[in-house]
Amino acid sequence: KAGVTQTPRYLIKTRGQQVTLSCSPISGHRSVSWYQQTPGQGLQFLFEYFSETQRNKGNFPGRFSGRQFSNSRSEMNVSTLELGDSALYLCASSPGTGAWGYTFGSGTRLTVV
Amino acid sequence: AQRVTQPEKLLSVFKGAPVELKCNYSYSGSPELFWYVQYSRQRLQLLLRHISRESIKGFTADLNKGETSFHLKKPFAQEEDSAMYYCALNLLDNQGGKLIFGQGTELSVKP
């Protein structure tokens, strides 16, 4: 079955702009999580959605938001972009709580200039 | 606070040598631990989960609650094992899970 699909693969944005990233989970997976990966901070949890409800949120400013649709697809939005938001954003899906692990997408590489 | 520590940023071994990538965690509950691997230019992949007690690609990991460790081991390293390895703890919160990752260990297997 198809894996986790993230679009776009690459993005270049200017400071102050906003950006929307998309994630399609594995068919049947209802949980979608988002992570930020940077060389300095490593992999950090952003938020997790299940059946269109945000269940968990990491320690990121309110400029980072997300949502999940009825078909489990998820979007992540970052407003008022800062240079420090440059990172690889990863999406992961699982059937439920992640007890058996998460499947990750290839990520969206965001560069803020 | 919940934390995952991988003390080695880089581990370099020769082909055929044993490998041990260290992982220690800090968590008061019953841990759900995983090892993820990221090969060059590939996506993050699940390698092992402690709940399965499995061996994948010759790798094993045993949960030691007394030492709060979940070290990854392989008796004979192969060049194709060269990759970035992440230990992760799945925290259950609000009925959902979230992964706390270690900083990662880069494994380099030399011929």
Cβ of residue A92 closer than 8 Å to a chain B Cβ: yes
- The per-residue pLDDT for range B46-93, each reduced to its tens digit, is 999 988 878 889 999 989 989 999 999 999 999 999 999 999 999 887
pLDDT tens digit sequence for A27-46: 999 999 999 999 999 999 99
Average pLDDT for chain B: 93
C-alpha Rg value of chain A to the nearest Å: 13
Whole-angstrom distance, CA of residue B107 vs CA of residue B82 = 5
The answer to whether A50 contacts chain B (CB < 8 Å) is yes
Give the distance, in angstroms, between the CA of residue A75 and the centroid of all CA atoms in the same chain.
7
Q: Name the minimum distance, in Å, from the CA of B79 to any CA of chain A.
A: 23
Chain A residues within an 8 Å CB radius of B32: 98-99
Residue A78 has pLDDT above 90, yes or no: yes
Annotate B32-62 with b (16+ C-beta within 10 A) or e (fewer).
Answer: bbbbbbbeeeebbebbbbeeeeeebeebebe
Inter-chain CB pairs, A–B, below 8 Å: 70
Residue A1's pLDDT is: 64
| Least CB–CB distance from A31: residue in B45, B88, B96 | B96
